[in-house]
Amino acid sequence: MGQHDRMSLFKRTTVGKPGEWFYCLRHQKVEEGPECPAKDRFGPYGTREEAENAMRTAHERNKEWRNDPRWHDDDKQADDNED
């Protein structure tokens, strides 16, 4: 990766296109198209309704992952130490 490529990683450009929906974490609202930098949003979503539910979806997924034993490294290390 050249210096130009590395520098472009830190630019605050927006990525997306009209017709795609995002949930902006900074403004805490749904936005259509590339209004805010990707680092500040969830998406893209196919519909406004999906974007409106972004925080609920993230909360539900986080809860599922917390309860999924495949995501618990501590449990795996404990199992590895038993051998």
29 or 7: which leads in pLDDT: 29
Structure confidence at residue 71 (pLDDT): 81
Whether 7 shows a pLDDT value over 50: the answer reads no
2 or 26: which leads in pLDDT: 26
Q: What's the predicted TM-score (pTM) here?
A: 0.62
Residue 44, preceding bond cis, omega within 30 degrees?
yes
Q: How far separated are the first and last CA of the chain, in Å rounded?
A: 43
Six token digits for residue 46: 């196919």
The answer for residues whose C-beta is within 8 angstroms of residue 33's C-beta and 6 or more apart is 16, 17, 18, 19, 20, 22
Bridge-based pairing state of the strands 29-32 and 21-24: antiparallel
Whether 15 shows a pLDDT value over 90: the answer reads no
